[in-house]
Every structure is written in C-alpha cells, then in structure tokens.
Amino acid sequence: MISTRLSILALALIGAALARPQFPGGPPPGMSPVPPPIAAVLPPETLARLEAIHADSSLSELDKHKAIDEIMVNLPDEVADRIPPPPGFAQLPADVQSQLKTIHRDKSLDFQGRQAAIRGVLDNLAPEYKRLLPPPPPGFPQHRQ
C-alpha cells in the first residue's frame, strides 16, 4: 500500500511538473504544484523544496523529475507511509502494491530505472486492474490498456 502511495505521489508530481508548461509562470491560480493530500503529510521543508523545483524555470522537465524523485525516494518511512495512494491503487493486489513500494524505496534505482521498473509492473497487470488506474501523465507512455 505504501508503494502504491509512493507510485501515485511520483506520478502525481511528475504529472504536475509535465503540466507546468501549459501555465507559464506556474500552476493555475489557486493550484498548488504539489497535490494538497500529499502536501498535507510532507514536512514543511520538503514541501518547500518540491515547490522550488516546480518553480525553477532553469531546470528541464527531466531534471525536475530527477530532483523530485531524489527527494521522494529519501523520505523517511514514516512520512512515505502517510502519502495517500491515488484512485485505483488501493484496489491492486497486495503483491503488486508491495512490488511498487519496493521499487519506490529502492535507492539504487535512478529516476529512469524506477520509471522502467514501475512500467514493467503496471504493463503486466491484468486488464481488470489496469482499468482501475488513472491514465499516465503527459509525457509518459500511454499504452496501458
């Protein structure tokens, strides 16, 4: 379940970062670059670091993803455990949730390796589970049927 939460957080943060160019200067008025349910459980200094990454126009989207991933993979377990899963992930089989949790907490994987590992797990889900998941964020492969 934690892995699912981290997967969702990573996807949500990546999606927010990828959506940023649609709104020059930052997210639309009133929107936080970090989803509110996630922001609510992060320490203030972590939230500030994530928001600074989102706002840094000198970073490429890939560099933003990498920086966010570095922060998220190094969160203390007690913080990572409180990150809510995205819709659908809580309904995945326990073994899949465990795999995703392990991937998200594997500090030996870089951003691209982590994404490839997650994609491998999600691509092998049965169709009835794939339907539960939100579509991948912009910039990610859209072949999850």
Residue whose C-alpha is closest to residue 91's, from 38, 130, 144, 136:
130
Gap between the Cα atoms of 100 and 85, Å rounded: 11
- The residue behind tokens 């049927």 is 145
pLDDT at 61: 86
Burial of 50 (0-12, 13-18, 19+ CB in 10 A): buried
User: Mind listing the pLDDT tens digit of every residue in the chain (145 residues)?
Assistant: 666 665 665 555 565 554 444 444 454 444 457 889 999 999 999 999 999 999 999 998 889 989 999 999 999 999 999 998 877 788 999 999 999 999 999 999 999 999 999 999 999 999 999 988 887 766 666 554 4
Indicate the domain borders of the chain. 2-21+33-130
Burial of 76 (0-12, 13-18, 19+ CB in 10 A): exposed
pLDDT at 51: 95
pLDDT at 43: 97
Residue whose C-alpha is closest to residue 9's, from 83, 67, 70:
83
pTM (2 d.p.): 0.69
pLDDT at 3: 62
